[in-house]
Chains A and B, each alone.
Chain A
C-alpha cells in the first residue's frame, strides 16, 4: 500500500480540508488562502498563521499541493508564493468530500440532520 493511498483513507484535518477547498478554484498565495477560508466559512473557521503555514508546509511535503511558478499579476508582491493543488490533492479532496456527503446522507436518513432552511 502506498503512502498516498493510506493518506487518502484518513479523514483530513479541518485545516487541510479548508486549504484544499480554497485552492480548488485556482492557485492562491497563503494570505489569499486565509482570506478565502475566512470568507467561505463566514468567519467561523479562524485559522492562525502558524496553522496555515504549518499545514502548507506539510501539504507541500506530502505532495498534496505544490508551488506555482506563475505570478498572477505583474504588480504582485514578489515575495509571495502561489500554491496549487496536485492531482493527489484533488483525489484526496474528492474522496473526503464524498465521504462527508455520505455521512450527511446517513444523518438525513436518520432525521438527525434537518435540511438547512427547513428549520
Chain B
C-alpha cells in the first residue's frame, strides 16, 4: 500500500467526526474514493489537486451535520427529501439571497449586532448581580440582620443583643457575628495594611467557610471572655502577601500589635458576605479593636444568619422582632426603641444597583426592538420587490409554508450572524462596563464574565429576533396574490405599506421615550456636577490610617502621635497646609449621633436630631477651604482639659437657632459632655453630592482622639498624588510601623460620585442616538419606497400642473403625519417610562417640560429632514419618463 499524503491523512482524521454507525459502514469506502480523487487530480497539477481537496472537505463538512441529524431522527420519518435537506436548501437560499444584497445584509446584521451586543453586555452584569445564585451553600437560607434605632434602619447590631438572639431564637440554624476592619500587619519589610474580619466561630459555620488547610475557630476561641489569638488567612493573601509559604499554618503574625497564630488557610476565592473580594485575614470577634464596640448600647457588629430549613425570611424577622421587644423590656435604658430587620443576603446592596441595571437593560432592549423593527422593514421592502419572484415560485407549485419558511430562514440566519458579531461586541463592552461601574457593584467584579449562560442568552435573543422580524414579512410574502401580482407591477407591495408605516411609528415612538430618558439623565448629571460640595477639591490629597489600639491605649498617646504627624506633614516641601480629620468627605466613612440641645429638654434617642460628627485638627477648614461664617476656628489651644469646643455648619445653626447666633450655645453629641459652640462653618457634602445638607458638628481631635483618622493635604503642585510617598514617610518618621492607605486625590473621590450617573447617561445617551438614527433611516426608507411605487401618480400630478414645491409638501406632509402619530404615542410612553427613572434623577423632575419639548423637537426635526430627501426626489420626477415606464 502506498504511503498516505497529508491531505489523505487529514481526510481520514476528519472522517472521525461522522456518526459512528455511518463511519463504520461507509468510512473506509469514502476514504478510498477520496484517495482516488486526490491521486487523479495530482496528475492534473497542484492547482487541480488543491481544488479537489477543497471540494472533498466541503463535501465532508456538509455531510457531517446532515448525518448526525439523520442519526438522531427515527428512520421511519426519513424521506429522500428529509427536513435536513430542506433546511440545507433554505440555508443555501438564504446565503445566496443575502449575498445578492450585501449592503442590506451588512446594515441589518450590524444593527442587530449592536442591539445584541449591548443587551448581552448588560445582561452579563445583570446575571452576575441579580440572577446568579450567591456562591454559598444553600444561599437562599443566608440572611443578614440589621439593627434599627427609632426611625433609623440598617444600623449595626449590639453584640450583647446578638448573644441573646442566638440563645432565644427559634428560626435560625445559627447566627454569626462579624465586623470588617482594616488591620496593621507588622514585622515584615514595611508595615502593611490587611483587610481584616473579626468573626465568631458560628459565623464561619453560617457561611460554611471552606479551608484548604488547618481548622476553623472553636466557640471558646471566639467568645469575648475566653478569646484566643488565632487567625485564618485567605488563599489570596497567602499567595500575594506571604509568598505561598508552605508553613503558613502555625506561623505567627503581628496584627494590630498582637501576635496571632495562623490556624487555617481558606480555599481560593472564598466568598464572605459584605466583602468583595473576601478579607485577607479573619480573627476572633473578641479582638475587635474598637474599645467599646462590643458593649451593650454600642452598635458595633454585623450579623449573618442561616435560616432553619423551610423557614421564611419574614418568619425569622418576626421572631427577632419579638425577642427585641422582650429585650427592650429587660434593658429599657439601652434597648428602648430598638429593633431588628432580617433581610435575605441576596438583597444586600442590590437595592441601589437593581433599578440602574434594569434601566440600562431596558434601554438596550428598546434599541434591540428598534433594530428588529428596522430589519423587519427592510425585509418587507425586499419582500415587496421580490413579489414577482415569489409569484413565479408559487405558480410553479412552491407551497406557501415552504416559501414562508425560506424567508424566515433568511431572517434567522441574518439575525444569528448579527448575534455572533454581537457576542464579540459584548465581550469588549462587558470589559468596558465592568471597568466603569465594577467598583460600585455589591459583588466581586471578577465574577462578571460573558459565560456560557450569557452566550446562550445572546444566541436565544438573536434567534428570537430573527423570528420576530422575519415572521411578518414571511407571512406577508406567502400570502401573495398570484394572479394580481403576475398581471401588473403597479401597486405591487403597496399592501405592505400600512405595516411598514406602523413599524416606523413604533421605531420613532420608542426612540422618543429613550431620548427623553437620556435627556433627563443628562440634565440630572449636569445638576449633580453643578452641586457645590462646600469645599475646594483641587490640589487635595487624602489618605487614611488606623492606630493599633493595643499600642495606643490612652487618648494622650493617640493625640501625641496625631500632633507630631500634623507637624511633620506641614513641614513637607510642596505642602501648603495639612490636617487630620476622622472622616474626610466622600470617603464613605462618617458617623452620625443623636444630639441633645441645651435648654430644649431631654428627648428619646430616636427623636433627637441626627448630627454628623467629625474630629479635626486645627487648619482643617483652611486646608479644605470650607468658609468660616461666624465665630472662630479650632486652634492649637483647644487641647484635652480645656473647655470642650465645637463648630457647627450653617444648616445646623439655621435649623436649630433660626435668626439667632449659635455661638456660646451648648450641645451634647457622641458623648455625655457638653460642647460649647465657638464657630459656624459652611455646609460640606459628606456622603454623596446629592444628599440633603446634613447637620454637621466638628470637635477638636485633641479633645476627642480616635484611633482611626484621615490625612488631608493641600499641595502646591498640580497633581496632589505626587506627594503621597513623602506623606507616607512623614508618618513613618513618627511611627515606623504605621501603615497608611487609600491615597487619593479629592478630585478622584468627586469624580467617583458621578461615575454611575455618568456611565448611565452615556449608555442611555448613545443608545438613544443609535435608536434615533435607525428610526430616521426607517422613515426615510419607507417614504423613499412609497414614492418609488408612486412615480406614475406623481408624474401625472406634475404633468397636470402641480409644481415641485407642492409635490415636496405633499410628500413631507405624509412623513409628518407618521412623525405626528409617533410623537403622540412616544410621549405617552416616555411619560410612563420616565416615572421609573425617578429614583435615578437629581435636581430634575421626571416630567421636566424643557426636556420633553427639547427631545420632541429634536426627533421631529431630524425625522422630517429625513422625509425631505425623498420628497425632493419626488418633486424632480420627469413626467414623461414616469409615464413611459410600464
Contact = CB atoms under 8 A, between A and B. Distances in A.
A48 B36 contact: no
Contacts of A64: 80
A16 B32 CA distance: 21
A7 B25 CA distance: 25
A20 B75 CA distance: 21
A103 to B, nearest CB: 12
B22 A57 contact: yes
A98 interface: no
Contacts of B37: 49
B33 A30 contact: yes
B78 A61 contact: yes
Contact of A49 (B59, B67, B70, B78): B59
Could you say which of A29, A31, A34, A58 has the most chain B C-beta atoms within 10 Å of its C-beta?
A: A58
A13 interface: yes
Given A52-B33, A54-B66, A7 B59 contact: no
A85 interface: no
B31 to A, nearest CB: 8
Interface in B40-77: 55-56, 58-60, 62-64, 66-67, 70, 75
A50 interface: yes
A60 B28 CA distance: 18
Given A34-B33, A57-B26, A50 B79 contact: no
Interface string A6-40: 11001011001000000000000111001000000
Contact of A48 (B58, B79, B80): B58
Given A13-B81, A34-B33, A61-B75, A54 B60 contact: no
A101 interface: no
B34 interface: yes
Residue from A7, A54, A80 with most neighbouring chain B CB atoms (10 Å): A54
A99 interface: no
B22 A48 contact: no
Contacts of B29: 29-31, 49, 53, 79-81
Interface in B223-246: none
Nearest to B75: A61
Contacts of B78: 58, 61-62
Given A50-B62, A56-B26, A3 B34 contact: no
Contacts of A81: 29
A54 B79 contact: no
A108 interface: no
User: How big is chain B's contact interface, by range?
Assistant: 20 to 34
B32 A31 contact: yes
Nearest to A47: B59
A54 B84 CA distance: 12
Given A13-B85, A50-B59, A31 B80 contact: no
Interface in B739-785: none
The B interface is mostly helix, strand or loop, or mixed, namely helix
Contacts of A10: 79-81
A68 interface: no
Interface residues of A, number: 29
A59 B26 contact: no
B79 A53 contact: no
Interface string A77-101: 0011100000000000000000000
B55 A48 contact: yes
A81 B243 CA distance: 68
B81 A48 contact: no
Contacts of A62: 78-80
A7 B79 contact: yes
A52 B25 CA distance: 13
B26 A30 contact: yes
B30 interface: yes
Nearest to B55: A48
A34 B33 CA distance: 8
Interface string B1-43: 0000000000000000000001001101111111011000000
Contacts of B22: 53, 57
B63 A54 contact: yes
A84 B228 CA distance: 89
Contacts of A51: 59, 62-63
Contacts of A34: 33
Contacts of B79: 3, 6-7, 10, 62
B80 A58 contact: yes
A33 to B, nearest CB: 10
Contacts of A57: 22, 25-26, 67, 70
B608 to A, nearest CB: 85
Contacts of A54: 63, 66-67
Contacts of A114: none
B82 interface: yes
A56 B70 CA distance: 13
A46 interface: yes
A7 B58 CA distance: 28
A17 to B, nearest CB: 10
B429 to A, nearest CB: 40
Contacts of A46: 55
B448 to A, nearest CB: 43
Which 4 A-B residue pairs are closest in the complex by CB-CB distance?
A48-B59, A50-B63, A49-B30, A53-B26
Given A46-B55, A50-B60, 20 more contacts: A6-B79, A10-B81, A12-B80, A16-B80, A29-B29, A30-B29, A31-B33, A34-B33, A49-B33, A49-B37, A49-B59, A50-B64, A51-B59, A52-B30, A54-B66, A54-B67, A58-B78, A61-B78, A62-B78, A62-B79
Interface of B: 22, 25-26, 28-34, 36-37, 55-56, 58-60, 62-64, 66-67, 70, 75, 78-82, 85
